Amino acid sequence: MQVRIMADYLCLAALLLAAPLTPYASQLSSSSSLRFIALGDWGGVSNPPFHTAREVATAKEIGRTVAALGADFILSLGDNFYYSGVQDVHDKRFQETFEQVFTAQSLRTVPWYVLAGNHDHSGNVSAQIAYSKVSKRWNFPNYYYTLRFKVPRSNATVAIIMIDTVTLCGNSDDFQSQQPQQPRDMELARTQLAWLRKQMAASQDDYLLVAGHYPVWSVAEHGPTHCLVKRLQPLLLKYQATAYLCGHDHNLQYLQDKAGVGYVLSGAGNFVENSRKHYRKVPEGYLRFFYAEPASLGGFAYVEIDSKQMSVTYIEASGKSLYKTSLPRRSRL
């Protein structure tokens, strides 16, 4: 096991230092808005049947939502495969936790844009990247990368910067220390942070989103990620980001800081945890919405961006709309 993890780590270093970080193109619909699902922590279990009832229910409701409302893509926010990621590109988990669960007709041509969570890093993340060449739906070009889109029928543009919070902050052992302690390789962390700063500084997009696995702010079991509060939050404020999207805590949350940055936490794709143990660790007034009913079937966030605003709707797997909010179009810098 240690040899395999070290081999994956060396592959990570080679990819981050050598691979081009280019945005993917997108097949947009004929709508006048850009629409996508934000889904984290959906990755089944490591024993048969390799999925949970909540994952299946969430997948079915995503299919119904996309059929009714449309979606240009699905943003996967990490912990794609519990509990130890995948072993290689031929791992059966790709089929039994992903391909054979998200089977709705409406999802067959919808691309997924993927980033890694802490449980993915316990396995072979480079195999998840390589799976991009196997599956027509699965798009994971590198550990971190930028997506850019035009909002249909408008001049508005959207940038989504996909980051690897584990490389940036370190891995989190959910069963012992809940906070990542430090990056495994400080040089790789510094490289990613410099890249992120450059991407954000250069963005003249009307909507600037950053997506990662760990939350900046969360009132739940894991709470705020100290590393991201220190390193990422100042960049979100400085470069007037629209929102940060994440998972990690197994519930649905919406928080907003005093500067107007939205924090969209969508981690209820597979498990639901009702803890609010870090409620007092989040600045007063930030939390606007929290949902983690024990009997819930799970849920996700549905995001729609038009020429004027970005709306976020939290949807339970039962089909119930739980909460909706909106964020304005960013002022050109």
Query: For residue range 69-127, what is the model confidence (pLDDT) as tens digits?
Result: 999 999 999 999 999 999 999 999 999 999 999 999 999 999 999 999 999 999 999 99
Compute the distance between CA of residue 121 and CA of residue 152 in angstroms, rounded to an integer: 36
Please check the confidence at residue 18 and state whether its pLDDT lies above 80.
no
Q: What per-residue confidence (pLDDT) applies to 20?
A: 39
Domains of the chain by residue range: 2-10+26-328
> How would residue 181 be classed by pLDDT, with cut points 50, 70 and 90?
confident
Distance CA 1, CA 112 (A): 29
Confidence bin at 4 (pLDDT 50/70/90): very low
pLDDT at 333: 52
What separation in angstroms does the CA of 148 have from each of 159, 207, 229, 308, 332?
5, 10, 25, 17, 16
Q: Where are the beta strands (DSSP E) in 77-123?
A: 112-114
> Residue 29: its pLDDT value, please?
52
Q: What percent of the chain is modeled with pLDDT above 70?
A: 89
What is the per-residue pLDDT for 182? Answer: 87
C-alpha count within 13 angstroms, C-beta hemisphere, residue 206: 17
Is 137 in contact with 27 (CB distance < 8 Å)?
no
Q: What would the mean pLDDT of 224-252 be, rounded to a whole number?
A: 97
Range 300-315 average pLDDT? 98
| Contact call for residues 279 and 312 (beta carbons, < 8 A) | no
Cβ-in-10-Å burial (0-12, 13-18, 19+) of 9 comes to: middle
306/9: higher pLDDT: 306
Q: How far apart are CA 239 and CA 202, in angstroms?
A: 9
pLDDT at 89: 98
* Residue 2: per-residue pLDDT: 40
**Separation of alpha carbons 151 and 157, rounded Å:** 6
d(CA 207, CA 204) in angstroms, rounded, equals: 9
Cβ partners under 8 Å of residue 190, min gap 6? none
DSSP of 209-275: EEE-SS-SS-SSSS---HHHHHHTHHHHHHTT-SEEEE-SSSSEEEEE-TT--EEEEE--SS-----
Which range (72-81, 178-187, 235-244) has the least confidence? 178-187
Considering the segment(s) 2-10+26-328 as one domain, its CATH architecture is 4-Layer Sandwich (3.60)
Q: Which two tokens stand for residue 255?
A: 């928080």
Does residue 19 surpass a pLDDT of 90?
A: no
What's the confidence (pLDDT) of residue 175?
54
- Using alpha carbons only, how large is the chain's radius of gyration in Å? 18
| Residue 48: Cβ within 10 Å count | 7
Lowest-pLDDT range of 141-150, 158-167, 181-190, 210-219: 181-190
**Inter-helix orientation angle 2-18/186-202, to 10°:** 40
Least confident interval from 99-108, 174-183, 211-220, 268-277: 174-183
Q: Residues 138-164: pLDDT tens digits?
A: 999 999 999 999 999 999 999 999 999
User: Is the predicted pLDDT of residue 15 greater than 90, yes or no?
Assistant: no
How many CA atoms does the CB half-sphere of 182 hold within 13 Å? 3
Predicted confidence at residue 184, as pLDDT, reads 87
**Of 11-15, 67-71, 167-171, which range is least confident?**
11-15
Question: Tokens representing 18?
Answer: 């050598």
Q: Does 228 score more than 60 pLDDT?
A: yes
| pLDDT in the model for residue 270 | 97
Q: Which pTM value belongs to this model? A: 0.91
Reply yes or no on whether the pLDDT at 215 is more than 80: yes
Q: What is the pLDDT at residue 332?
A: 64
For residues 83 and 125, the answer to whether their CB atoms sit within 8 Å is no
Q: Where do runs of H (alpha helix) occur along the chain? A: 2-18, 53-69, 93, 118-121, 125-130, 165-169, 186-202, 226-231, 233-238
Instruction: Determine the pLDDT at residue 23.
Output: 44
